[in-house]
Amino acid sequence: MAQLPLEDNFNDIIAKAQKGFKLSDMALAAATRTTVDDLNKLKSGEMNEPLVRRIGPIMNLDVGKLLELGNKSWYPPEHKVPGLVMFTTTYQDMTVNNYLVYDQLTQKAVVFDTGADITELVKHCLANRLKIKFIFLTHTHVDHIAELERLKQKSGAPAYVCELEAFAGAEPFKAGKVFDLSNMEIETRLTCGHAKGGITYVIHGLQKPVAIVGDAIFCCSMGGGMVSYVDALRTNRQQIFSLPDNTILCPGHGPLTTVAEQKVHNPFFPEYKQNASRPA
């Protein structure tokens, strides 16, 4: 599979933070002693290091991590966990991920989101004699649930969604509920802000800790505060960055990463410094 690009570049992060802080172009240009024209060039992807250095502190973004992104000087190593399979499909002009997790002894499986096309997922389950027991939704944005009804029909499995984002065809649950699958437990954590009922699913029982995070966080970015920027930052800090550093993070878009990598490389979280201990 070809290397997935990062979901966001430095300019996308600046634009998300500006929206989150509710700053107009004119206000941000004035605060950074620049022109709206130069600001718009930056937001279109034209690197301007002095301007990035002035913008970062205003919106609590880590300047070093922004420049690292702009220079394309880091990409996560490949992360593999037995019993975890990522599928990437195309929805309109973007790619979207969904995940299959299964117990290797019992061959019982769960699916997280559906992406835009479940064809390869269904083929994989048939080829490996996996039985889908549950379907879990991280949130109900259309690119993540486009094939929900088809997957339910193919698998016969029930679907579940956070009660804050009730959706026809999925049973609601309250964040904090734990689901059991053979030798695994699936813990549910509310990571709202990008979506009202965004859920991170923490999986206990695989060879490494795994968290299916949806659009709460991406490698070197996050989904942004479509509902609440403040809540998106807060719940990511409380519910994702509190996980063990070696936890594999499985986002709705872009490559897999880890908690440790995001502490070092994600500009939205400047409290974790770039010289922090890197994963072995």
Element (H, E) at 143: helix 142-145
DSSP structure class, residue 254: S
Structural domains in the chain, CATH included, are: 10-70 (1.10.260.40), 84-265 (3.60.15.10)
The Cα–Cα gap between 265 and 251 comes to 15
Q: Taking all residues of the chain, what is their mean pLDDT, rounded to a whole number?
A: 95
- Assigned token pair, 239: 């519910």
pLDDT (average), residues 221-228:
93
1 pLDDT more than 60: no
Name the pLDDT band for 155 (thresholds 50, 70, 90). very high
Mean pLDDT of 181-197: 96
Asked whether residue 80 carries a pLDDT value surpassing 50, the answer given is yes
Alpha helices in 33-141, H assignment, sequence order: 36-43, 49-58, 63-70, 119-127
The whole-angstrom separation of Cα 256 and Cα 97 is 10
By three-state DSSP, how is residue 117 classified?
Answer: coil
Quick check: 279 pLDDT over 80? no
pLDDT value at 67 more than 70: yes
The stretch 12-40 carries a mean pLDDT of 97
Q: Are 238 and 231 in contact (CB under 8 A)?
A: no
φ, ψ of residue 234 in degrees (nearest 5): -65, -50
Residues 279 and 257: their CA atoms lie apart, in Å, by 11
**H helix or E strand, kind and range, residue 197:** none
- Going along the chain, which residue ranges are E strands? 84-91, 94-102, 108-112, 131-136, 159-162, 171-173, 178-181, 184-190, 199-204, 210-214, 248-251, 257-258
pLDDT tens digits, 89-141: 999 999 999 999 999 999 999 999 999 999 999 999 999 999 999 999 999 99
Q: How far apart are CA 96 and CA 113, in angstroms?
A: 10
Query: CA 60 to CA 122: how far, in whole Å?
Result: 43
Q: Residue 21: is its pLDDT beyond 60?
A: yes
The answer to whether the beta carbons of residues 87 and 100 sit under 8 Å apart is yes
CA-wise closest residue to 101 among 88, 119, 82: 82
Q: In the prediction, which pLDDT does 274 show? A: 58
pLDDT at position 105, please? 95
pLDDT over 70, % of the chain: 97
Whether the model clears a pTM of 0.85, i.e. scores above it, the answer is yes
Task: Name the residue type at position 14.
Answer: I
Token digits of residue 248: 């594999």
| Band of pLDDT at residue 230, cut at 50, 70 and 90 | very high
Contacts for 119 with CB less than 8 Å, ≥ 6 apart:
none
